[in-house]
Amino acid sequence: MRHARRRIVRRVTRLAAVGGLLLGAGMVTQAVASEPSGSPGVPNASVRSAAGTGADLVERLGTARTAGTWIGSDGRPVVAVTDEDAVAEVRRAGATAKVVRHSMRELKSAAATLRSAPRVAGTAWVMDYRSNEVVVRGDSTVSAADWSELTEVADGIGGFVRMERTEGTFTTRLNGAQAMLSTAGRCSAGFNVTDGETDFILTAGHCGPDGSVWFADNQGNEQVGKTVTGSFPGNDYSLVQYANGRAGQGADVVAIGDGQGVRITGTGEASVGQRVFRSGSTSGLRDGEVTGLNATVNYPEGTVTGLIETNVCAEPGDSGGPLFSEGIALGVTSGGSGDCNAGGTTFFQPVGQALSALGVRLITSTPEQGASPAPSASGTQSAIAPPDAAEPGASAPVSGEDVSALLSRLTDPKNVGPGLLIIAGSLIALVATRWIRTEQDRKAYQRYYSATWG
């Protein structure tokens, strides 16, 4: 009777182990099948692909037949065109065509006419590709007389120039992400760059003139570096050379604390309609959408052109911080209006233009490498999105191995960890039952041998 019970227990154990193997294999298969296409280690390239298709079509068709491109709500590129032949070519390329009245050549001509008019501080304009208009905005500092004169200029251009008043004031956003302090004020670090021999911080040009010395603390004990070159107004970028010449470990990561960061894997050009992320020490991580390109802003300090316009909010203290999406560096914070309670408009200096003018390149990680050495926190790092914000880029720990995150991934039902654990447990059970059976057979043989030859 006892031997029968043992056989039943062994059979049940073996059946449970086999069932565990099948269950674990099913869980692993389901987890792999449901894994998102954009792995955490490699930025999703769909938006960049759409933007590239639209830009290629605009370049091929020319400014007389197109009026800009943007990313539609379905993620496909949309190209504004002026004739039916262009419509056919856009559709053949897999993009959406929108027929408009005014070409890019006309929009640029309108913007040039506005630039040639007497400068009015507190105004800005941008080509709105989606509405096929040039939008002129005036903040609360613009007088009624100045606004009336600028409106006359707009009326002389044509009906595709739209005039709008906006709340707040267009100001440079001095201060920033991880603070850098000097006698020129408090500003923000953007991205780490290098010329191959020395490392620098790329930040906003309005932060301070050449020779400004920057510190990481209020007491002036921790020197970060010195501004060696820049451009403002006209553009809005500058280089701060590290005091020791090196950015250090983690130079390819932007972070906002709590041991989290986003790896920067390259540079790119912003596209209208693209979702983007910005970080700063005042308002933290914020996201929004690119609403215009080649914007002109008449700050009190001077005029800056060629900026990226977004509806991402920013506040004083966010200047110089990085703008990025999918791990791709896009710009550094220049200025804007409004705040993060009421919303507003924020402008960014494009990174590519700044890098080309300064003769430096971004310090980046390689997407294909997956896990690279864990970066350390520094005063030059800025942002990661909260869990419910999508795709700022590939996440990475800021210092050391993030054990809790690893355990979380292993126990997440959406991942392969639980399935692998069940498979491992089932294999152990099978091996154990086989070993127990072997030991019982060996002891039974010993008893039989002893009884026979005793």
Point out the residues that are catalytic: 206, 236, 319
- The Cα 309–Cα 286 span in angstroms is 15
Contact of 71 with 271, CB cutoff 8 Å: yes
- The Cα 175–Cα 318 span in angstroms is 6
DSSP letters, 425-439, are HHHHHHHHHHHHHHH
* Residue partners of 144: CB distance under 8 A and separation at least 6: none
Q: Which of 138, 136, 127, 135 is nearest to 103 (CA)?
A: 127
Q: Which tokens go with 158? A: 């044509």
b/e sequence 397-407, b meaning 16+ C-beta within 10 Å: bbbeebeeeee
Amino acid at 95: A
DSSP letters, 249-313, are TTTTEEEEETTEEEE--EE----BT-EEEE--TTT-SEEEEEEEEEEEEEETTEEEEEEEEE---
Q: What are phi and psi of 2, to 5 degrees?
A: -65, -40
* Residue partners of 307: CB distance under 8 A and separation at least 6: 236, 294, 295, 296, 297, 334, 347, 348, 349, 350
Count H helices and E strands in the chain, helices first: 8, 25
- The Cα 267–Cα 330 span in angstroms is 6
Q: 41 forms bridges with which residues in the sheet?
A: none
List helix spans (H) across 272-416. 351-358, 403-411
Q: Which helix (H) or strand (E) holds 34?
A: none
